[in-house]
Amino acid sequence: MNQTRHDWTKEEILDIYNKPLMELLYEAATIHRQHHDPNTVQVSTLLSIKTGGCPEDCGYCPQAARYHTNVEGNDLMSVQQVKAQALRAKASGSSRVCMGAAWRNVKDGPEFDQVLEMVRTINKLDMEVCCTLGMVTENQAKRLAEAGLYAYNHNLDTSEEYYTEVISTRGYEDRLQTIENVRKTNVTVCSGGIIGMGESEQDRAGMLVALSTLNPQPESVPINALVAVEGTPMEDQKPVEIWEMIRMVATTRIVMPETQVRLSAGRTEMTREGQALCFFAGANSIFAGDKLLTTPNPDVNEDMEMFKQLGLIPQKPFIKISQPQTVEAADSQFTALGEKPKWSRPGHIIERNELAKEKGAVSKS
Ligand code: SAM
Ligand code: DTB
Ligand code: SF4
């Protein structure tokens, strides 16, 4: 069995990514079978608990307030609404709910307290709970852990070099610091990225170096294909080819043998055959539900039909790590510290982000 390595270099990863396809598939599938049941796929449901109006300038994101997309902003959902959605997700075969908020970072206060209550509520439904709320401090990560959080999603998105071409309002080091803060708890780390943003193969390999050299490696790695949303700076990006997705999934599987590799955004553009090759290459998780956060995703029934056709079985919850215990708010050991962490704000100019911002402003005037 291959041992997990934490010293992958960009050159090694590029060599893997560019292998003849049949070699790459064979190697990835072999490693996949050594570490996972190849017929089991995790099914996770996304829930946008706070949509739109985000102050950041992430060039791919339809929820950034400065770009002129058709996303309708919503306030934070209620705990009852979240519970109802989680029950629906469970009934449709999901073992995990991932709650996303269009926030730069978590702020202590009533809204975060409400999210903690959502975590407690879903954990009590015996589902894995994941959150993606932006940057978090160590104390906030501890409070999430205490509430019963199973995973925290915080993507590196791309290589450190290309990150500066995508986002100017936050820094790569803060992404890494957030992951480190989550690592100080028992919450598992979910971190991956996006392909199709105009990055080079070097950048794709660079992102995989950054993820695979984390020790421990993330327990799950979402691989998103850019959903090019009108109004965002990346609206004109050409779609990712299925072969790029397969190569990215296979390479991720080889350098991170234990991780759950998730086929994330972009599945509506993929055929069943394409997805089947991704599962063969080592993908063993999907986001299910007719919506991602704000953009469409394949219909649940279609996915279940695909599972049947391919002989795939949805993974049960808490297979890898046991269910966390929920501590009630009244018994909590960790209280809000009201910290004001100095997350970075590089503030450099990204031409295409500026253009997208201006374009909307001009068409509105
Ligand atoms: N606001 C939080 C943050 O940025 O950390 C959490 C939500 S954010 C929408 C979560 C992730 O979704 C991003 O890091 C990015 O990888 C992914 N994402 C956002 N828009 C996307 C798009 N148009 N296509 C593919 N992935 C996207
Ligand atoms: C991740 O890597 N992909 C998900 C989840 N983590 C939060 C989000 C995809 C969002 C795609 C664009 C949208 O629907 O807004
Ligand atoms: Fe905001 Fe997250 Fe979208 Fe960036 S990716 S604009 S932080 S919601």
Return d(Cα 103, Cα 99) in angstroms, integer: 12
Return d(Cα 176, Cα 163) in angstroms, integer: 13
pTM: predicted TM-score of the whole model, two decimal places: 0.97
Any atom of ligand 1 within 6 Å of the Cβ of 103: yes
CA of 26 to the centre of ligand 1 (A): 31
pLDDT digit string, tens, across residues 80-135: 999 999 999 999 999 999 999 999 999 999 999 999 999 999 999 999 999 999 99
For a pocket test of ligand 3, which of 48, 50, 63 has the largest count of ligand atoms closer than 8 A to its C-beta?
63
DSSP 226-278: P---TTSTTTTPPPPPHHHHHHHHHHHHHHSTTSEEEE-TTGGGS-HHHHHHH
Ligand 1: which atom is nearest the Cα of residue 295? 23
> Which residues are known catalytic residues?
54, 58, 61, 98, 130, 190, 262
Ligand 3: which atom is nearest the Cα of residue 104? 7
Any atom of ligand 1 within 6 Å of the Cβ of 102: yes
Residue 53 has what pLDDT? 96
Any atom of ligand 1 within 6 Å of the Cβ of 223: no
Any atom of ligand 3 within 6 Å of the Cβ of 98: no
306 contacts 272 by C-beta, under 8 angstroms: yes
Q: Considering only CA atoms, which of 276, 278, 300 is closest in space to residue 288?
A: 300
Ligand 2: which atom is nearest the Cα of residue 293? 14
Ligand 3: which atom is nearest the Cα of residue 132? 2
Residue with the smallest CA separation from ligand 3 atom 2 is 102
pLDDT digit string, tens, across residues 208-266: 999 999 999 999 999 999 999 999 999 999 999 999 999 999 999 999 999 999 999 99
Any atom of ligand 1 within 6 Å of the Cβ of 227: yes
Any atom of ligand 1 within 6 Å of the Cβ of 221: no
pLDDT of residue 16 exceeding 90, the answer is yes
Residue 3 has what pLDDT? 80
Q: Which residues line ligand 2 (CB under 6 A)?
A: 46, 62, 98, 100, 132, 153, 155, 192, 222, 224, 227, 264-265, 292-295
pLDDT confidence bin for 290, thresholds 50/70/90: confident
* Cα separation values, 48 from 71, 73, 188, Å: 12, 11, 20
For a pocket test of ligand 1, which of 224, 227, 230, 244 has the largest count of ligand atoms closer than 8 A to its C-beta?
224
Half-sphere exposure of 265 (CA within 13 A, CB side): 24
Any atom of ligand 3 within 6 Å of the Cβ of 64: yes
pLDDT confidence bin for 204, thresholds 50/70/90: very high
What's the whole-number average pLDDT of the chain? 96
Mean pLDDT, residues 56-85 taken together: 96
Phi, psi of 361 (to 5 degrees): -65, -40
Any atom of ligand 1 within 6 Å of the Cβ of 154: yes
Helices 272-280, 21-35: crossing angle, 10 deg rounding: 60
Return d(Cα 356, Cα 342) in angstroms, integer: 28
Which domains occur in the chain, in start order? Answer: 28-320+337-364 (3.20.20.70)
Task: Identify the nearest ligand to the CA of 156 by its number.
Answer: 1
